Amino acid sequence: MNIVMLGPPGAGKGTQAERIFAQFGWKPISTGDIFRVALAEGTPLGLEAKKYMEAGELVPDDIVEGIVADRLKKPDVKDGFILDGFPRNLHQAKALDKMLEESGGKIDLVINITVDTETLVKRLSGRRVCRKCGANFHLLFNPPAVEGICDHCGGELYQREDDNEETVRTRLKVYEELSEPVVSYYNPSGRLLSIDGTGTPDEVYMEIHAAIELASGGAAV
């Protein structure tokens, strides 16, 4: 199954994409993660993306769309993928349609995770990410067993550059202005399902699981 995850910064897209992957094996593709890896490796792409990410602005469409188009051609997404953080504006949504048209693929389900702003800010300010494997933790809501250390790989946990208060505010504004219209774009398709993301990660996953079951006619579960 091919899924698009929509939702504001901190909604839990990455957290839930990992859970779907763990159960169904559909590959998460996070454009934000791709840029963070490129940045850690010091590639030209990483250095270019850094300017925008640190400011909380979107990386230019031609760069992001090129990356996603290449990624969707890789064999590991043949049986399914979960786009997390793409498309993020109408231009990208239309570009994705074109990519799928050319490859003969389609999006089966669009999951829109909704969370109020106050909760988003709390989640982003307490988030910690593994430097090695990219796993997400939260100081209060999802703490690692040992402080500062990733439960999965033993890597060091760090706070994302763009999780400071000022950049978070810009990211939320950018989401409202540019990314929210993408929700309306998918609305008439009948594949869009909005999910309340304010419960615990388990509660949110239960709703997502039900949405996947519904979209697959029970075949996926």
The site for Mg ion (CB under 5 A) is made up of 14
Candidate ranges 103-111, 119-127, 181-189, 213-221; the one touching ligand AP5 (CB under 6 A): 119-127
Q: How far is the CB of 167 from ligand AP5 (least distance, A)?
A: 8
Determine the 3-state secondary structure of 160 from DSSP. coil
d(CA 221, CA 217): 9
Q: Is 13 a catalytic residue?
A: yes
Query: Among residues 19, 132, 191, 209, which is the contact residue for Zn ion, using CB under 5 A?
Result: 132
Q: How many residues bind ligand AP5 (CB under 6 A)?
A: 37
Q: Which residues 6+ apart lie within 8 Å of 83 measured at CB?
A: 2, 3, 4, 5, 29, 68, 96
Which residue in the list 36, 88, 123, 128 is annotated as catalytic?
A: 88
> The dihedral of CA 191, 64, 57, 200: what is its sign?
positive
Q: Is 191 a catalytic residue?
A: no
- Which amino acid is present at 168? V
Of the candidates 118, 116, 160, 124, the residue with the CA atom closest to the CA atom of residue 141: 124
Q: Assess 209 for contact with Zn ion (CB under 5 A).
A: no
Two structure tokens written together for 156? 């060091």
Q: Assess 28 for contact with ligand AP5 (CB under 6 A).
A: no
Query: Among residues 11, 20, 107, 208, which is the contact residue for ligand AP5, using CB under 6 A?
Result: 11
d(CA 133, CA 144): 14
Two structure tokens written together for 163? 């999780």
Candidate ranges 28-36, 39-47, 108-116, 122-130; the one touching Zn ion (CB under 5 A): 122-130
Residue number of the CB atom closest to ligand AP5: 32
In contact, 64 and 86? CB cutoff 8 Å: yes
Return the number of other C-beta atoms located less than 10 Å from residue 211's C-beta: 17
Site map 136..165 versus ligand AP5, x via CB under 6 A: xxx--xx-------------------x---
Q: Is 88 a catalytic residue?
A: yes
Q: How far is the CB of 131 from Zn ion (least distance, A)?
A: 8
Q: Where are the beta strands (DSSP E) in 119-199?
A: 127-130, 136-138, 157-158, 192-196
Residues between 35 and 54 with contacts to ligand AP5, criterion CB under 6 A: 35, 52-53
Chain residues in the site for ligand AP5 (CB under 6 A): 7, 9-15, 30-32, 35, 52-53, 56-59, 64, 85-86, 88, 92, 123-124, 127, 136-138, 141-142, 162, 171, 199-201, 204
State the catalytic residues.
Answer: 13, 88, 127, 160, 171
